[in-house]
Structure 1
Amino acid sequence: MDGKLIVSSSPHISSPVKTKNIMLDVIIALIPALIASVYFFGPRALALVVVTVIACVVSEYISRKVMKRPQTIGDLSAVVTGMLLAFNYPATLPFWIAALGGVVAIVVVKQMFGGLGHNFANPAITARVILLTSFALRMTTWVAPHAWQGTVDATSTATPLALINSG
């Protein structure tokens, strides 16, 4: 053997692709879902996404500042978390609950455990579970697609088979 065995922490192989590029690709991939949510559930769905994304970005900025860690809002991971979390909300959810979900996702689930890559669970889905247990009625009050326009041609619910079974 010519070389020495080098023991170091990961990553062992580096790539020119950075986190910001990956997160930007994810945001671009989520745009069709955003367009569909606005089409089916109206401008309020877009407002929920905006509120949640702002809450996530501001929460990340403030928490990093308070913890005296370098800022990471430029990597766009908070934007992705905000979009994914907002897509899990009913369109009628109050904006303050949406913002609270963003704070929980970023501060409690992501930043308190070290930031991106160190969190114990997916921040968006964990925040959804916390909101679901805290605000069960508001988190399970779903509206029919196109109800914002006054026309309904489909039903959206968590368990449509239970509705069919009950008559």
Structure 2
Amino acid sequence: MSTYTVEDPRKVTTRRLIEMKAKGEKIAMLTSYDYSMARLVDEAGMDAILVGDSAANVMAGYGTTLPITLDQMIYHAQCVTRGVKRALVVCDMPFGTYQGNSTQALASAIRIMKESNAEAVKLEGGEEIIESIRRIISAGIPVMGHLGLTPQSINKFGTYNVRAREESEARKLIADA
């Protein structure tokens, strides 16, 4: 018996998210790293659940997201997908698995999809990772972009402060989107 508190208990897919956006419906998303939290978040009615590379900070105690590995992200995504019935599960691609090498990006995304049962991957960045995005999408893997506050770029910016306050940076953010 389902314990969903949402009006529409059907499985959320990328198609459903597109339909929701077209209708102007709000889309709710939270982050989970394990089975128990994923079940709670899913039953609360979230439309999407992100398995974030922030697991490096929250679960492993690192000061940045950079140390988490692809194997560790797949493990967390496996835990989350086992706890989810309704929400779309998106898995973060960790630092070093997609930047600068679109072949490696595709291989990493395929591993995530095959080994974790996630339904999409998330990458940080814009124009500089476009080849990786194109290659992943060409394989039929949905990609969620992440712009603005980009924790994987902590060493570039030296802080987690809000980005795009300067006009030139704001223009780049819009162009990337």
More strand by share: 2
Same fold (TM over 0.5): no
Q: Highest relative contact order (Cα 8 Å, sep 6+), 1 or 2?
A: 1
More helix by share: 1
Which one has the largest radius of gyration? 1
Q: Give the TM interval when normalised to the shorter protein.
A: under 0.3
